[in-house]
Structure 1
Amino acid sequence: MKIIITGTSSGIGKAIAEHYLRKGVPVVGIGRRHTINHANYQPVTCDLTDQNAIKELAVEEWISTEILLINNAGMLGTVKRLSDQDSPDINQVMALNVVAPALLMNKLARVCGDHSMALTVVNISSGAAKRAIPSWAAYCTSKAALEMLSETFYLEEQEKGRTTKVYCVAPGVVDTPMQAQIRSVDQADFAASATFHQYYENGELISPEMVAQKLDRLLAMPYSGMVSHSLRSVE
């Protein structure tokens, strides 16, 4: 098996990559920065907001008997009410959170189909996909779109008679740089700011390493065909 993960420089992506590297699984990391130094880690530098750069990735070089694609890279975008933003960055948020996963799913599905390789796709989602949070318009929209992309892709693979497994996983409230970004926003721009400060101060954030362990356990379970999952329910 070979694992392809986007956004491995920090947070959840780095923890997942290191988790599988410890298990002896080769990892391809895609992103702008790389902080992992391991013999089985292959860094692939790519700006995932650049569609042309993604299209030029030589995914054929990553051929293995089984591919696990984990679309982890994501961005929160500007935390501010939409009508208060001078120049909304929704295009950039959608490019990284939705378009990049779609392009990688397209490329890997085609290569895996051509070479009879098993494919599993994990898209890292959020509770914000199912719950509107004021000042997170772009992020909530992008994660809701990612959920529907995942569901649709799974049904399409079923129509083609393929055994592709697809997961769209909400990890919970995790101690990552994104959480630090959330806490840095003034309450005047983000009404729920105090809640996220409380998560941090009360020790309610889970570690990226715990997310990696729970994801590994989820993927080890028999596949039920259910796409949307919350890691909160995984023991």
Structure 2
Amino acid sequence: MKYYIITRTSNEIGEALVKELLARKEQNHIISISRRENVILSELAKTHNKNFSFYKLDLRKTELIKGTIQSIFNNDVHNNNEGIYLINNVGVIGPLGPIEKNTDTEIMDNMIINLISPMILTSHFIKHTNYLESDKRILNISSGLAKYLLPSQSAYSTSKCGLDSFTKSIALEQKEKKFPVRIVSVYPGVIGTKLQEEIRAANKEDFPLVHLFQGVYGNRHLQTSEDTAKKLLELLLSDTFGHQTVIEELTSILIP
């Protein structure tokens, strides 16, 4: 059996990832970590007779991550597994605007959710899987804005750039391990999510390039969460996963 630990499954990409896994024939155990329970996913799991566990956790409360991962490995994950995968999907776009207009709390929230919590989750995932000979992989959902910098998104770009650097560092550490964890950071493309809605609704004074995102939406160039989820899982389960640490072209639609 394969185990999938996925953060932020309450909606959008996380929800689509779980739905795609539930629809597949193979018997998986999907473990959700999210602030809110997605009742639709719980019901779908029952309908498909699939293993699904939900752990309620606000990833801003980083001190609770250790206990949550401990519970997952105590209660849900069997040592004789075929594979175990962590998808760090959680993310926030805000604060938007020049750095001097960003509040201390907004900056801290962005860094904790986008960078610190994936780092801690990765740390505990590796601690609990170090001795396992099974297939072990981590997929970090990054952003093209880690590389293609725009004004008024300094916190988001910095946190995602940090996530890429962290991914590269862990890949180097794992190269020397007897049973290594393969890890990749991916730019999923421009997707029709609430994050995009937030950007398009930004004040032009605070975000001068808001028209770029409005144009992508107006031209119907946004990917769906469902299509993105399929491509992400295709990447995660590919034979070449880990050969390239940062994947910039999951899709052809990137912010120029």
Q: Scaled by the length of structure 1, what TM-score is found?
A: 0.93
TM-fit CA distance, 1:116: 3.7
Q: Distance in 1 between matches of 2:36 and 2:237?
A: 29
Q: Does 1:175 align with 2:175?
A: no
Change (3 A) 1:187 1:151: same
Please give the alpha-carbon distance, in whole angstroms, between the structure 1 residues aligned to 2:238 and 2:131.
Answer: 27
- Amino acid aligned to 2:28: V
Structure 2 residues not aligned, in runs of 5+: none
Q: In structure 2, what is the Cα distance between the partners aligned to 1:26 and 1:233?
A: 31
Q: Which residue of structure 2 aligns with residue 225 of structure 1?
A: 243
The 8 Å contact of residues 3 and 29 in structure 2, kept in 1 or not, is answered as yes
On the 8 A contact 2:6/2:14 being kept in 1, the answer is: yes
Structure 1: distance between partners of 2:237 and 2:102:
43
Partner amino acid, structure 2, of 1:22: A
CA distance in 2, matches of 1:86, 1:51: 20
1:52 aligns with 2:50: no
- Superposed displacement of residue 217, structure 1: 2.1
Q: Distance in 1 between matches of 2:31 and 2:222?
A: 28
Superposed counterparts of 1:29-40, under 5 Å: 29-35=32-38, 36-37=41-42, 38-39=45-46, 40=51
Residue 108 of structure 1 aligns with an amino acid whose one-letter code is F
Matches within 5 A, 1:1-235: 1-23=2-24, 24-35=27-38, 36-37=41-42, 38-39=45-46, 40-57=51-68, 58-60=71-73, 61-64=75-78, 65=81, 66-87=83-104, 89-223=106-240, 225-229=243-247, 230-232=249-251
1:26 match: secondary structure = strand
How far apart are residue 233 of structure 1 and its match?
A: 5.6
Q: Which amino acid aligns with 2:246?
A: S
Q: Secondary structure at the match of 1:154?
A: helix
Counterpart code for 1:190: F
Give the whole-Å Cα distance in 2 for the aligned partners of 1:87 and 1:103: 22
Alpha carbons of structure 1 residues 31 and 175: separation in structure 2 relative to 1, 3 Å: same
> 1:159 is matched by which residue type in structure 2?
E
Could you say what the CA RMSD is over the residues aligned between the two structures, in angstroms?
Answer: 1.7
TM-score (norm 2): 0.86
Q: Which amino acid aligns with 1:59?
A: I
| C-alpha deviation, 1:181, in angstroms | 1.1
Q: Greater shift after overlay, 2-11 or 209-218?
A: 209-218
1:117 and 1:111 mapped to 2: Cα distance? 12
Cα drift, residue 213 of structure 1? 1.2
2:98 touches 2:206 (CA, 8 Å); kept in 1? yes
Tell me which amino acid in the other structure corresponds to 2:221: E
Partner letter of residue 5 of structure 1?
A: I
Distance 1:117-1:62 versus aligned 2 partners, 3 A rule: farther
Distance 1:217 1:87 in 2: 38
- Aligned-partner Cα distance in 2 for 1:147–1:49: 20
Answer yes or no: is the 8 Å Cα contact 2:143–2:186 preserved in 1: yes
Structure 2 CA distance for aligned equivalents of residues 220 and 167 of structure 1 = 12
Q: Which moved more, 1:185-194 or 1:222-231?
A: 222-231
List alignment gaps of at least 5 residues for structure 1. none
- Offset at residue 115 of structure 1 (A): 4.0
